Amino acid sequence: MTRIGIIRHGSTPWNKEGRAQGSSDISLDQAGIVDAYKLAERLRKENWDFIYSSDLLRAKQTAEIIGGEISNIPLYLEARLREAGGGQIEGTTEEERILKWGKNWRELDLGIEGTDSVIARGLSVIEEIVSKHDNKNILIVSHGAFIKHLLKKLVPQLHMLESPKNTSLTKLIQLENGWDLELYNCTVHLR
C-alpha cells in the first residue's frame, strides 16, 4: 500500500504579512524553521522512504530540515510541486490588491495560474512519483493553494473547512479505486 504524507512548508515573513507568494522564492522565517524541526521530530518516529519537495526555497528548506532528521531518506526537488503562480498579485496583500485593482480584482486577468493547470501538473507529478515508488511511504512538501487544489481532486469527498496550515501533515493511502484520507491538516507537533 502506498502512503503519501503531504506537508505545507513552514511559515515565511510573507505568510505573516498576508502577502500572496505564488512562485516568488521566499525563505522561511525563524518560526517556520522552528516549526519545521518540530515536524521533523514527529516524522522521525514514523516510517518514510522518500521526500519530494517543491524547488521553491520555503518548501526546500522545510524538506531539508525534515531530511536532516530522518536518516538515509533521499530528497528530490520537483518544480511541478510549486505553488500556483500568482501573476501580478505576488507580493501584495488583499488591501493592496483592492487599492490597485478594486474589490473585484479576482475577476481580472492578472496572470494567476488557473486551477486546471495546477491540478494537471499536480496529478502528473503524483502519478509519476507513485509509479516510481509503489508500496512506499512518500513525503511531499509543497504549498497551500497547490495542496488544496490537489486534495480536492484526489479526495473529492473531503470538505476542507480550513486551508492547510504551515507545517501541517495530511496523509493519503492509495486504494484500488483512488485515494483515502487518513489524516488532514494535522499540526499536533506544534503544541
Active site residues: 9, 83
Strands across the sheet containing 169-175 = 75-77, 50-53, 137-142, 3-8, 169-175, 178-186
**Residue whose cell numbers read 508500496:** 135
User: Would you say 31 and 191 are in contact if contact means Cβ atoms under 8 Å apart?
Assistant: no
**Residue whose cell numbers read 521566499:** 26
Distance of CA 50 to the CA centre of its chain: 16
Beta strands in 13-85 (DSSP E): 50-53, 75-77
Q: Which three cell numbers stand for residue 160?
A: 476542507
